[in-house]
Amino acid sequence: MTEAAPRSPAAGRAKLTDVAALAGVSVGTASKALNGGGRMRPETRQRVLDAVEALGFRPNQHAQSLHTGRSWTVGLMTTDGIGRFSTPVLLGAEDALGAGKISVLLCDTRGDAIREQHHLRNLMERRVDGIIVTGRRTDPRGPLSGIEAVPIVYALSPSTDPADTSVVSDDRGGARLAMEHLLATGRTRIAHVTGPEHHAAARDRARHAVGHLEDASLGLATGRVHYGEWSEAWGRRAADAVLRTAPDTDAFFCGNDQIARGVADALRERGVGVPGDIAVVGYDNWDTMALACRPPLTTIDMDLTEIGRIAALRLLQAIDSDPAPGVHTVPCRLIVRESS
């Protein structure tokens, strides 16, 4: 008779020893990963959190709070009222924090400095263990001011203080992926249409796109970057302007998916085949735009959820008195669809 395999603990009845065994760490390390004590690599903490989730382990939050002095809450401060960018960041942060049963308090400042201070005071009164700051733009922002010594991590919108911890998207890598893809499909007359020049995302993506073309001994089809608005209407107008100036254009690399969808609409109205005659690549991988476009857009995904997850892990590391100052970049991904 064969020996029966050990059974997994029933959900909600797992013990800390079960969590430690599954994560491959000591009970002490598992405890520290959950109560914020000691120092450890983010990967080790993540293994413990994954084990907690897999086993359905439920730590005694009240007892832990009394023991550690922690509130088991984290604030997420955003200027993105619509949620287009902050929602994926929040989901990624919750993926990393939720397994440890840390609650996330979302505060929308709407870009208002007074509202920001109001939310900060509320978070301080709640004695949050840390704060993640994010927004809808990649422009650097000033650090939070007038608060106590609480760990802070900036996600997507980096802090202007190099001593702070920031987690951002790799726009250089994203532009490179787009241009390499277009060049690999035989496109050599590429136009670049993007948003307002005073936005860091527009300037950075344009600079890197032009630099990559120059490395290939090429230049933009019209000889310049077309700055405008983050809108479909601008994409339609820009497409017409580009084709008047450079009718032999064979590809558009656009600064976001809204612009790219407008470009695709304008080309379709002209009877231009996409991608047969002209390929179109967007940026952001916003499903609402990318999948509704005809044809569906090839685009660059900034992996906002991963930015949120990494930001949360860096925050947990800082709460453990082991901060990682500086700017940490998260790679982009090329999502190939029918437009190229």
pLDDT at residue 170 above 90? yes
pLDDT at residue 57 above 90? no
226 three-state secondary structure: strand
8-state DSSP, 148: -
- pLDDT tens figures, 125-160: 888 999 999 988 899 999 988 776 799 999 999 999
Nearest Cα neighbor of 14 from 51, 61, 64, 44 is 51
pLDDT at residue 321 above 90? no
Give Cα 47 to chain centroid, integer Å: 22
334 three-state secondary structure: strand
8-state DSSP, 225: -
Least confident among 20-24, 164-168, 195-199: 20-24
* C-alpha span between 335 and 337 (Å, rounded): 7
Residue 302: the pLDDT is 97
Residue 69: the pLDDT is 56
Mean pLDDT of 87-112: 84
- pLDDT bracket for residue 215 (50, 70, 90): very high
Least confident among 245-249, 295-299, 318-322: 318-322
Residue 62: the pLDDT is 46
Residue 83: the pLDDT is 76
Residue 41: the pLDDT is 83
Mean pLDDT of 111-130: 87
More confident residue, 221 or 80: 221
Residue 38: the pLDDT is 62
More confident residue, 106 or 336: 336
- pLDDT bracket for residue 67 (50, 70, 90): very low
8-state DSSP, 221: T
pLDDT at residue 327 above 80? yes
pLDDT at residue 47 above 80? yes
The fraction of the chain above a pLDDT of 70, given in percent, is 90
Averaged pLDDT of the chain: 89
Beta strands in 119-222 (DSSP E): 130-134, 152-155, 165-169, 190-194
- pLDDT bracket for residue 59 (50, 70, 90): low
* C-alpha span between 117 and 173 (Å, rounded): 35
Helix, strand, coil % over all residues of the chain, rounded to 5? 40, 15, 40
- pLDDT tens figures, 219-266: 999 999 999 999 999 999 999 999 999 999 999 999 999 999 999 999
Residue 184: the pLDDT is 98
Residue 175: the pLDDT is 98
Least confident among 9-18, 138-147, 300-309: 9-18
CB atoms within 10 A of CB 101: 15
